[in-house]
């Protein structure tokens, strides 16, 4: 079959020029759970961008706080904020970038007025300066206000500068419609947005960009058809990443073999290795993949990173 037409290259350059064209993102646990505990410096080298999970809310609406979790520190035999900060520098010396993720499943950070937007920007900027973070990741799974979060992120960028990485990790339901809060936020800050790594897991069946079938999670069709919504509704290919679990234990549903992630990337970038769903065109600039999480990947033998990272290097 003839591959679909190739989409023209984006007219706007990516907001951050020092990241790889195709990017592997992984979340690092700042907590103790059944996955293996890791010092930040022990994140495998395959990861280009490490999202530290998570910044937490304070009693001030919108404000963030962060420090090495006491349970994690104990599990590692002692791990301090100073150790962590040195590890951020170590990753920088390897050419990696480290961002601070806000939210998570139990996160309660709320930005819904001008005061909370200011508090978010001020405290995020202070944490970036203190620890050396390269940016911020929005992983608010309990809803967000797109207007005030956009205000907060623009204020943060004004404080930090154009090198600020801004990532997002919405759930599938959040990226079904461009008018929805998360999707609207992404489009409203498209000029400063780095990447949206949608969580293509822990999801019910969802409509794809063809709007005529509900695709089930855990398949190439699901990943490609849902990513296609974002690609056809306004985000540049370099702003779209595919978020998948790292393996057993990492998610309640949607776990796929890393080879399936590679097939989805091929389908989107080249029009090859597709399932029954084929997107209307190819997107050779597709940004890459994300996994929850580095810790679960290491627990499962680094299979995700060792399979997906080399494949990203083969993409156009």
Active site residues: 141
Q: What is the pLDDT of residues 36-55, one digit of tens each?
A: 999 999 999 999 999 999 99
Classify each residue of 80-94 as buried b or exposed e, where b means 16 or more C-beta atoms within 10 Å of its C-beta. eeeebbebbebbeee
Average pLDDT, whole number, for the chain? 93
What mean pLDDT do residues 141-149 have?
86
Q: What is the pLDDT of residues 81-121, one digit of tens each?
A: 999 999 999 999 999 999 999 986 656 889 999 999 999 99
Cβ-contact 287, 22 below 8 angstroms: yes
pLDDT value of residue 2: 46
pLDDT value of residue 105: 63
DSSP-based three-state secondary structure for 249 = coil
Q: Pull the structure tokens for residue 303.
A: 């299979």
Residue 16 in this model has a pLDDT that exceeds 60: no
pLDDT value of residue 4: 54
What mean pLDDT do residues 226-252 have?
96
Residue 9 in this model has a pLDDT that exceeds 50: no
Phi, psi angles (nearest 5°) of residue 251: -155, 160
Residue 139 in this model has a pLDDT that exceeds 80: yes
Q: Pull the structure tokens for residue 73.
A: 């520190």
């Amino acid at each position: 079959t003839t591959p679909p037409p190739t989409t023209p290259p984006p007219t706007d350059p990516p907001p951050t020029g020092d990241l790889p064209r195709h990017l592997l993102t992984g979340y690092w646990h700042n907590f103790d759970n059944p996955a293996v505990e890791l010092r930040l410096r022990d994140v495998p080298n395959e990861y280009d961008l490490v999202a530290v999970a998570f910044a937490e809310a304070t009693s001030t609406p919108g404000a963030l706080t962060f420090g090495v979790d006491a349970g994690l520190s104990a599990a590692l035999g002692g791990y301090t904020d100073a150790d962590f900060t040195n590890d951020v520098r170590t990753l920088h010396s390897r050419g990696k970038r480290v961002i601070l993720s806000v939210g998570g499943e139990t996160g309660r950070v709320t930005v819904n007025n001008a005061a909370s937007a200011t508090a978010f920007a001020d405290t995020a900027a202070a944490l970036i300066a203190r620890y050396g973070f390269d940016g911020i990741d929005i992983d608010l799974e309990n809803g967000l206000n797109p207007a005030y979060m956009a205000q907060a992120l623009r204020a943060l960028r004004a404080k930090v500068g154009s090198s600020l990485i801004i990532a997002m990790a919405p759930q599938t339901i959040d990226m079904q419609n461009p008018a929805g809060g998360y999707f609207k936020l992404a489009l409203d800050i498209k000029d400063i947005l780095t990447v949206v790594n949608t969580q293509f897991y822990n999801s019910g069946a969802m409509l794809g960009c063809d709007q005529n079938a509900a695709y089930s999670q855990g398949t190439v069709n699901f990943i490609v058809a849902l990513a296609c919504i974002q690609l056809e509704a306004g985000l540049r290919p370099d702003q779209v990443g595919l978020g998948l679990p790292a393996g057993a234990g990492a998610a309640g549903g949607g776990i796929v073999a890393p080879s399936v992630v590679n097939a989805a990337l091929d389908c989107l970038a080249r029009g090859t290795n597709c399932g029954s769903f084929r997107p209307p065109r190819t997107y050779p600039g597709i940004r890459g993949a994300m996994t929850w999480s580095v810790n679960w990947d290491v627990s499962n033998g680094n299979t995700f990173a060792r399979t997906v990272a080399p494949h990203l290097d083969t993409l156009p």
